[in-house]
Amino acid sequence: MNDLLGKTHRLLRESKNIAVKEMAGEKISFSQLHKFENGTSSIIVEKLAYLLDYLNISAEEFESTFIYLNKDAVTMREIAEAFWAKNTAKLRYYMEKENSLLVKNPENLNHFLNVMQVKSALRFLDKRYTISEKEIRRLERYLFSLKEWSGYDIWLFGNCVDFFTDSDLRKLTYKMLHPEVQNIKTSLIQSRLNQVVINLISVHIENKHFTPVDELFSYLEHHFRPGLDMTDRAMLSFYKKLVEFRKDPLSQEKLINVEKCIAAFDTLGCFDLVNLLTEELERYKIRTHI
């Protein structure tokens, strides 16, 4: 852990072309900073905060860089890339890799959660791929035990929403949006919450559960950052039109409104998203024989 934290700091410092000796002084000695960046010593939070302030780097930027350099996080990034490319062969490779670690140490929660991440991606691409009841129960126990949801927990839940019953899904959604403790309420966390809420909306629309959808619409409208989250705002507009179409699938006007929303994403160059939303709409059109 010390090695990864120090490596992250060194990368950011060097990207600013700032030498160690420039940062050393009253707050932290040259020796302390040198040992920290080489992973042989840790530093207290106050000193790390000073270093980030010196570099004009926010805690969120530091966290994002740290996650990117962390082995498990890179694996998650690779899972996402394989998912968007619909590369099930690569996902199965990751599955075997993560599962082998879990077999060696079945009680290791981290290995189990990584396995569930891969399985969720495979399950989304191929509904024939099954998740055991035992795995779902273990995942539920973990999520229900959380007092505060980290970015990882939010991301995990968002990827696995398809696994839970409607009742458990609603309970977990409430726990995520209204945790017992909120010490890490950052804009990064809020952005991930918004993305998961969008995933939840899609699932509820699939199941024609419109009451929770209205509640989630309201949540998003009150938690977008002013001037930001433009893609999420566009997604909200899309799903509002999709709900209208799902409630009245024979309306040609409402179908055209949904298609216009998808065309807007195409204009913005969000081609992967266009493909995903088009597939979602096509499923509903087939069900209603359009």
* The pLDDT of residue 74: 45
* The pLDDT of residue 67: 67
Q: In this structure, how many other beta carbons lie within 10 angstroms of the beta carbon of residue 246? A: 19
What does the alpha-carbon distance between residue 163 and residue 144 come to, in Å, rounded to a whole number?
14
Confidence of residue 178 (pLDDT cuts 50, 70, 90): very high
Instruction: Inform me whether the pLDDT recorded for 1 exceeds 70.
Output: no
Q: In this structure, how many other beta carbons lie within 10 angstroms of the beta carbon of residue 192? A: 20
Q: Which of 212, 208, 209, 205 minimizes the C-alpha distance to 238? A: 205
Quote the radius of gyration of the chain (alpha carbons, Å): 22
Mean pLDDT, rounded, of the chain: 88
Question: In CATH terms, is domain 2-69 a member of 1.10.260.40?
Answer: yes
Instruction: Inform me whether the pLDDT recorded for 190 exceeds 80.
Output: yes
Q: CB under 8 Å to 56, separation ≥6 — which residues?
A: 16
* The pLDDT of residue 50: 92
For the purposes of burial, counting CB atoms within 10 Å of the CB of 50, is it exposed (0-12), middle (13-18) or buried (19 or more)? middle
Confidence of residue 26 (pLDDT cuts 50, 70, 90): confident
Instruction: Inform me whether the pLDDT recorded for 215 exceeds 50.
Output: yes
Express as a percent the part of the chain with pLDDT over 90.
46
* The pLDDT of residue 40: 87
Tokens of 175: 């726990």
* The pLDDT of residue 68: 61
Average pLDDT, stretch 131-135? 93
Instruction: Inform me whether the pLDDT recorded for 253 exceeds 70.
Output: yes
Confidence of residue 135 (pLDDT cuts 50, 70, 90): very high
Average pLDDT, stretch 281-290? 84
* The pLDDT of residue 229: 76
What are the sequence ranges of the domains in the chain?
Answer: 2-69, 71-130
pLDDT in tens, 95-125: 888 888 889 889 888 789 888 989 999 988 8
Average pLDDT, stretch 149-173? 91
pLDDT in tens, 35-80: 999 888 889 999 999 999 998 888 877 877 776 666 554 467 788 8
What does the alpha-carbon distance between residue 145 and residue 157 come to, in Å, rounded to a whole number?
13
* The pLDDT of residue 2: 55
